Amino acid sequence: MAINFKGLYIGGQWVNTASHFDDLNPADGAVWATVPDATMTETVMAIRAAHDGFKAWAALPFQERSNYMLKVASVIERRKNDLVEALRHEGGGWIGKGMFEAGYVPEVFHAAAASNYAAIGEILPSENNKFSLAVRRPMGVITCISPWNFPALLTARGIAFALAAGNAVVLKPSEETPYTGGLFFAEVFEEAGVPAGVLNVITCSRSRVQAIGDELIDHPAIKGITFTGSTAVGRVIAARAGAHLKKACVELGGKDALIICEDADLDRAVKAANFGSFMHQGQICMSVEKVLVHEKILDRFLPAFIERAKALKVGDPSRDPASIIGPLINDKQAARVKEQIEDAVAKGAKIALGGGVNGRFVEPTILLNVTRDMLVYRDETFGPVVPVIPFSTDEQAIAIANDTEYGLAAYFYSRDIGRIWRVAEGLEYGMVGINEGIISNAAAPFGGVKSSGLGREGSKYGIEDFLEIKYLCLGGLNK
């Protein structure tokens, strides 16, 4: 029987709605839960509740806000298994992905709690008998709009630092993962005893997203927006926020490259290619979307890569924990991945492994002879499909890696320290993993360049998006 959640979470209360929408298990399309479908009325209520909660929250001693973040972390730690189960059913994820994500989320709240203990201002050069300071202050109500692929982690990254800094938040998770990206946090914040109005969660169906999303930017009480999702939607949100002169941190899509030099530790590089290309069916913004291999080692790399990928079992992870490659999140995404495979084959690509698409399930697929005119070379795939492209010089590898509108994360493997520096500097990306596959750390600034977004999340750099700088000048000190 489908789960029925308590309601929207507004001003510390559970608020029922007139209508609900279905939250599907992507593996079989069955209704896993029914979820409140918010209207404009509840959206405005949530914004007002956040506005009302802000002042008292911002006025708390910073240690108290940090303590609440630590309480939130410990409730999530205690409820780890609930979150893993929900991620498997609502998100179609492998159990290992759920364990990783549910383990990482408390760490984000730990990092946010710790961020309050770092300096937040500076003493500026001051003229005689004056004392000039730059201080940082919370902004007010922040909107967080989060995606479905790592719903709990990316919601946590969006809200934790903003809240710790003294802002209140209205959270709107993806309609594909309204529980793991939204209402789960409402339950946790209620249990942790975080004051009413600090976190407000509204969920809505696809047909209401645009109108509610607009209000979550336009309303005068909203002072900043943190968005994680596609580049197409992120552009619209950043432009709308810009028209109001509101700050927007937008974490968007990627076409991330992994470069494997001929002096690489091949075993580790193969593991990174496998994990990066196929983990969560390639539905990670930092997924490896192009593997560039030095031509001298291609004949050793390719069979090893194929062998590993072949071993990944495709199936329903909500029923069979041994299934590593689960379904893509919805039919639209499966159709897009299928189109990319067909387009590549029609234009001369060779399938070295996989290629099969069965409903929302896509086999791990490795493509050869991929050229610039193919969709799979240019567009984000967000599926378990990856081209392997040979190169002969570092300059060529860097040029291919940079030949994209995106710039989120790139990775490369080499043992040569000079080369490491040159290649890392040449890559036009916000994040670079050196002898490391997918990189992420709650204390690091997460974000991309070019069409991968604006701003950073996490760490002291990420907090800047949720704080205003105020210049104070204290005079009359000679009297």
Interacting positions 296-355 with ligand NAD (CB under 6 A): none
Q: Does 43 bind ligand NAD (CB under 6 A)?
A: no
* Structure-token pair, residue 169: 């938040």
24 Rama class: left (phi>0) / alpha (psi -120 to 50) / beta: beta
Letters for 408-437 (x = contact with ligand NAD by CB under 6 A, - = none) are x-----------------------------
**Taking the mean position of all CA atoms in its chain, how far away is CA 275?**
17
Whole-number minimum distance, CB 447 to ligand NAD, in Å?
7
Q: Does 36 bind ligand NAD (CB under 6 A)?
A: no
| Integer angstrom CA distances of residue 150 from 110, 153, 181 | 19, 6, 8
DSSP string, 344-380: HHHTT-EEEE---EETTEE--EEEES--TTSHHHHS-
Q: Does 229 bind ligand NAD (CB under 6 A)?
A: yes
Q: CA-based Rg of the chain, rounded to a whole angstrom?
A: 23
Whole-number minimum distance, CB 240 to ligand NAD, in Å?
8
- Provide, for the chain, the percentages of residues in helix, strand and coil under a 3-state DSSP scheme, each rounded to the nearest 5: 45, 25, 35
Judged by CB under 6 A, which of 155, 180, 226, 228 binds ligand NAD? 228
Q: Which is nearer to ligand NAD, 112 or 233 (CB)?
A: 233
Judged by CB under 6 A, which of 116, 143, 146, 365 binds ligand NAD? 146
Whole-number minimum distance, CB 131 to ligand NAD, in Å?
40
Stretch that binds ligand NAD, among 25-33, 106-114, 146-154, 344-352 (CB under 6 A): 146-154
Q: Which is nearer to ligand NAD, 112 or 302 (CB)?
A: 112
Judged by CB under 6 A, which of 5, 189, 361, 382 binds ligand NAD? 382
Among 311, 312, 365, 369, smallest CA distance to 338 is for 365
Whole-number minimum distance, CB 376 to ligand NAD, in Å?
15
Which one-letter DSSP state was computed for residue 65?
Answer: H
**Does residue 251 have an active-site annotation?**
yes
Question: Count residues contacting ligand NAD (CB under 6 A)?
Answer: 30
Interacting positions 279-298 with ligand NAD (CB under 6 A): 285
Among 308, 302, 318, 333, smallest CA distance to 90 is for 318
* Structure-token pair, residue 268: 């580790």
Stretch that binds ligand NAD, among 65-73, 188-196, 226-234, 397-405 (CB under 6 A): 226-234
Q: Which is nearer to ligand NAD, 276 or 390 (CB)?
A: 276
Question: Strand 385-391 vs strand 288-294: parallel, antiparallel, or unpaired?
Answer: parallel
| Integer angstrom CA distances of residue 121 from 15, 141, 468 | 39, 21, 11
Judged by CB under 6 A, which of 26, 36, 384, 453 binds ligand NAD? 453
Q: Does 251 bind ligand NAD (CB under 6 A)?
A: yes
Instruction: Determine the residue with CB nearest ligand NAD.
Output: 213
Length of the chain: 479
**Does residue 127 have an active-site annotation?**
no
Judged by CB under 6 A, which of 163, 169, 183, 233 binds ligand NAD? 233
Residue with tokens 């005893």: 193
How far apart are alpha carbons 154 and 180 in whole angstroms? 10
How far apart are alpha carbons 359 and 331 in whole angstroms? 7
**Amino acid at position 136, single letter:** R
Residue 124 contacts residue 132 (beta carbons within 8 Å)? yes
Interacting positions 195-214 with ligand NAD (CB under 6 A): 209-210, 213
Catalytic residue among 90, 204, 285, 363: 285
Stretch that binds ligand NAD, among 71-79, 92-100, 132-140, 172-180 (CB under 6 A): 172-180
Q: Does 253 bind ligand NAD (CB under 6 A)?
A: yes
Q: Does 441 bind ligand NAD (CB under 6 A)?
A: no
Q: How far apart are the first and last CA of the chain?
A: 75
How far apart are alpha carbons 70 and 65 in whole angstroms? 9
* Residues assigned a catalytic role: 251, 285
Residues in contact with ligand NAD by CB under 6 A are 145-149, 154, 172-175, 209-210, 213, 228-230, 233, 236-237, 251-254, 285, 380, 382, 408, 448, 452-453
